Amino acid sequence: MTPWHRLGVTAVAALLLGALPPTGGVNDSAVTDTALPRKLSDFGFFAGPGATKPAAGLVAYSLRTPLFSDYAEKQRFVYVPADARIAADAAGRLAFPVGSALIKTFGYGSGSAFRPIETRVLLRRASGWEALPYVWNADLSDADLKVAGTRLPVSVGRPDGRVAQISYAVPNKNQCKECHSAGGAVVPIGPVAANMDMAPAAAKALRARIDWAGAAINSDGPVWNNPASGTLDARARAYLMVNCAHCHNPQGSASNSGLFLNYAAAADRTATGIYKRPVAAGRGSGGHDFAIAPGKPEASIMIHRMGSTEPGVAMPEVGRSLVHEEGVALISEWISSLRAD
């Protein structure tokens, strides 16, 4: 499959450098108005069926270490209004101006066989970020807003060739807020410079519109399943950062747990789970004493919860119905490598 972030980079770069019309076909008022568009096509993000032709104003990117979502393929785009600037803090987190949009399409299959299921949009409005899920109709001519979410039967192929039948969950608006939350406000998760991957031309053009205070895009952050990209510790922490830290951080929806898996908390061994006892013991603990028992993944609550699909036990709580076996193997290997005090 040709990565989407490798397609159309000349047009993308030209747009960002001011050589193309400023909107690129995007309906800016649909992004910024308070209304909730009923159809994805109202935004003008795509031309043609099935999200196959992104508007010229969209910049494609991928994540070096992505969030696991039942082995779904994802196509990611960012849209920023013409002449607007993006801020970046010292940690490389991007702050997008009003009128921006983050667009992520979930589906299965590769190349021309890719079939989208849903497209989630994050819209930067004057009041803050608005998260909306859209489900593609049968002929892929458009996608409909599903504020209440929905479930769809899907056949999922695993990397080892096994096939699983799942009830794919499209989140409702409130579930979007559970993950995309910081201090009670909806925020983006993925666009952190060290974890973003873009074609060189698009990255160069986008960098020119960012007021940098930290690391640049394409800074070669660790890839969770590529040992050549970083140490086991770096890859494991990158995986936990993407899959867990959106809730498990001091401002996240799981802040009351005291388990913090964001990069800034890495220096505090207990906060990151090592010999940390659960705030409330229950079946979620699996009878284990610590979130992470160094050298003993089989005795660690983290592995117990990552390896479960049971409601009330499984972590993350939303976004998956399958166990990410490869992710569990990585974190188990990492915990095995930790020395007991």
At residue 18, the 3 state secondary structure works out as coil
| Separation of alpha carbons 150 and 147, rounded Å | 9
Confidence band (pLDDT; 50, 70, 90) for 214?
Answer: low
Return the closest-CA partner of residue 262 out of 276, 279, 247.
Answer: 247
Domain ranges of the chain: 4-211, 227-337
pLDDT reported for residue 9:
36
Task: Tell me what the pLDDT averaged over the chain comes to.
Answer: 84
Q: How far is CA 22 from CA 58, 80, 198, 218, 233, in A?
A: 11, 10, 21, 25, 43
Residue 6 has pLDDT above 90, yes or no: no
| Separation of alpha carbons 220 and 320, rounded Å | 28
What does the pLDDT average to over 234-238?
93
Confidence band (pLDDT; 50, 70, 90) for 112?
Answer: confident
Note whether 243 and 68 are within 8 A (CB): yes
| Separation of alpha carbons 74 and 113, rounded Å | 13
Confidence band (pLDDT; 50, 70, 90) for 162?
Answer: very high
Residue 59 makes CB contacts below 8 A (sequence gap 6+) with 12, 16, 77, 78, 79, 80, 198, 202, 205, 206
Q: What is the pTM of this model?
A: 0.84
Rg (CA), the chain: 20
First to last CA, the chain: 46
| Separation of alpha carbons 39 and 184, rounded Å | 27
Return the closest-CA partner of residue 132 out of 103, 168, 154, 90.
Answer: 103
Residue 65 has pLDDT above 50, yes or no: yes
Give whichever of 61-65, 92-96, 297-301 has the largest mean pLDDT. Answer: 297-301
Residue 304 has pLDDT above 60, yes or no: yes
Residue 330 makes CB contacts below 8 A (sequence gap 6+) with 224, 225, 235, 236, 239
Residue 132 makes CB contacts below 8 A (sequence gap 6+) with 36, 37, 120, 121, 123, 145, 147, 173, 176
Residue 125, judged by CB atoms within 10 A of its CB (0-12, 13-18, 19+), counts as middle
pLDDT reported for residue 73:
93
Kindly state the DSSP code that residue 27 receives in the 8-state scheme. Answer: -
Q: What are phi and psi of 5, to 5 degrees?
A: -75, 0
